[in-house]
Structure 1
Amino acid sequence: MIAHLRGRLLSKAPNRVIIEAGGVGYEVSIPVSTFYEMGDLDGEVSLHVYSYVREETFSLFGFRTAREKSLFEKLLSVSGVGPKLAITLLSGLELPDLVSAIRKGDVARLVCIPGVGRKTAERLIVELREKLATFALEEPERERTPAIAPGSVADDVLSALVNLGYGRAAAESALREARVANPDEDFENWLRGSLRLLARKFFH
């Protein structure tokens, strides 16, 4: 089984990358959060990999951090959740927000993720709430930026980015970087900064 992959980044899209290692190109499915951390094409990248084997199917799923992979594996343990839905869950909310929603039993937050119905959300909560009780919520980078409060300037910027068609996880990551670069609350500066970062990642 492939557990880790390091090589040259040949291609990238929000849901997959192709990495050349040892003369072989590996297609790896990824969540948006991992895509957002990918560097430039032809650069070296490394991913934690989950190998999924089912009958004649062999698929690779990649993650920038061991924590993402660990949460992915926990999601797979839930009845009715396969690898594609698990990737969708990781793409729909940033990792700390997804863990928090499951811990708090926030069905409304979970059903906002495309492909997640009420029954699936309830199963996630019932089957994972205790398992995620000790799962670390915070990333070091995240600790430097205050949470986005409902109705705040940051929340308005996030809503604008989502309305423009960007995924919530990617929008939150870009906004976080924009806020670190420009600590003063300013809708236009944060929106411009976020769009610049998103354009660099999606259209480089």
Structure 2
Amino acid sequence: MICRLTGILLEKNPPQVVLDVHGVGYELDVPMSTFYSLPANGEKLSLLTHFLVREDGHFLYGFASEAERFAFRQLLKISGVGARMALSVLSGLSVSDLALVVARQEVGRLTRVPGIGIKTAERLLLELKGKLADALPTTSVSADDAHNDILNALLALGYNEREAAAAMKQLPADVTISDGIRQALKLLSRV
């Protein structure tokens, strides 16, 4: 319904801002990543928005980038995650950090965000897997990181360290994570 607002920044009170758009003051909740990038009061500002209607009110959320808004919307789709928790996640982690945490399945980093426990973090990692990678520019993963991820995947699948290490030795140095796991599983199925 409301996609973007452009106006004059009137107030900044974390996590809320008031934006004057042609004489109408819009109150928006923003993640801290957006809050830290705001100009001074009285300056022009443009924010992407997400409008949420609930039985207890109408709420407007603002974002500095499309990636933030996309991540917020993906978080809202998860059962048990409301707007307050989604803002908390985006305030504690940048979108690129969140995508990296999801790709590496790092529960510990998510539990450092206030209000996120282990079970919620595990659910977030499961539900967000593969959804944030499309919103981010492609980043190169170092060979060591890829090999560590492949090794961890094999161990999680129940192979012991000796078996996993033997399969890892046979993989090319520049293998991607998904191809490496696939190739390692083929090697291990022949044993």
Identify the residue that residue 18 of structure 2 maps to in structure 1.
Answer: 18
Identify the residue that residue 121 of structure 1 maps to in structure 2.
Answer: 121
Q: Is the 8 A contact 1:13 1:35 kept in 2?
A: no
Identify the residue that residue 59 of structure 1 maps to in structure 2.
Answer: 59
Identify the residue that residue 77 of structure 1 maps to in structure 2.
Answer: 77
1:106 paired to 2:141: no
Flag structure 2 segments of 5+ consecutive residues without an equivalent. Answer: 140-191
Instruction: Provide the C-alpha distance between the structure 1 equivalents of 2:14 and 2:137, rounded to a whole number of angstroms.
Output: 24
Structure number with larger C-alpha Rg: 2
Instruction: Provide the C-alpha distance between the structure 1 equivalents of 2:138 and 2:17, rounded to a whole number of angstroms.
Output: 26
Identify the residue that residue 145 of structure 1 maps to in structure 2.
Answer: none
Give the 3 Å change call, closer, same or farther, for CA 100–59 of structure 1 in structure 2. Answer: same
Identify the residue that residue 146 of structure 1 maps to in structure 2.
Answer: none
Instruction: Provide the C-alpha distance between the structure 2 equivalents of 1:134 and 1:49, rounded to a whole number of angstroms.
Output: 20
RMSD: 1.7
Give the 3 Å change call, closer, same or farther, for CA 106–82 of structure 1 in structure 2. Answer: same
AA partner of residue 82 (structure 2): G
AA partner of residue 49 (structure 2): V
Count how many residue pairs are aligned between Structure 1 and Structure 2. Answer: 140
Q: Is the 8 A contact 1:100 1:137 kept in 2?
A: no
Question: TM-score normalised to the size of structure 1?
Answer: 0.65
Question: TM-score normalised to the size of structure 2?
Answer: 0.70
Structure number with greater CO (CA < 8 Å, separation at least 6) is 1
AA partner of residue 11 (structure 1): E
Q: Could you give the per-residue CA deviations for residues 15-34 of structure 1, whole angstroms, max 9, x where no partner exists?
A: 11000112111110000110
Identify the residue that residue 37 of structure 1 maps to in structure 2.
Answer: 37
AA partner of residue 71 (structure 1): A
User: What is the 5 A alignment of 1:1-204?
Assistant: 1-136=1-136
Q: Could you give the per-residue CA deviations for residues 27-74 of structure 1, whole angstroms, max 9, x where no partner exists?
A: 100001101110010101010000010124100000011111011000
AA partner of residue 111 (structure 1): T
The alignment-based identity, stated in percent, is: 42
What's the CA shift for 1:138? 7.2
Q: Is the 8 A contact 1:96 1:138 kept in 2?
A: no
Q: Is the 8 A contact 2:70 2:135 kept in 1?
A: no
AA partner of residue 14 (structure 2): P
AA partner of residue 60 (structure 2): L
Instruction: Provide the C-alpha distance between the structure 2 equivalents of 1:95 and 1:138, rounded to a whole number of angstroms.
Output: 13
Instruction: Provide the C-alpha distance between the structure 2 equivalents of 1:130 and 1:46, rounded to a whole number of angstroms.
Output: 29
Which runs of at least 4 in structure 1 moved beyond 4 Å after TM superposition?
none
Instruction: Provide the C-alpha distance between the structure 2 equivalents of 1:46 and 1:132, rounded to a whole number of angstroms.
Output: 24
What's the CA shift for 1:137? 5.3
Give the 3 Å change call, closer, same or farther, for CA 137–96 of structure 1 in structure 2. Answer: farther
Flag structure 1 segments of 5+ consecutive residues without an equivalent. Answer: 140-204
Give the 3 Å change call, closer, same or farther, for CA 133–39 of structure 1 in structure 2. Answer: closer
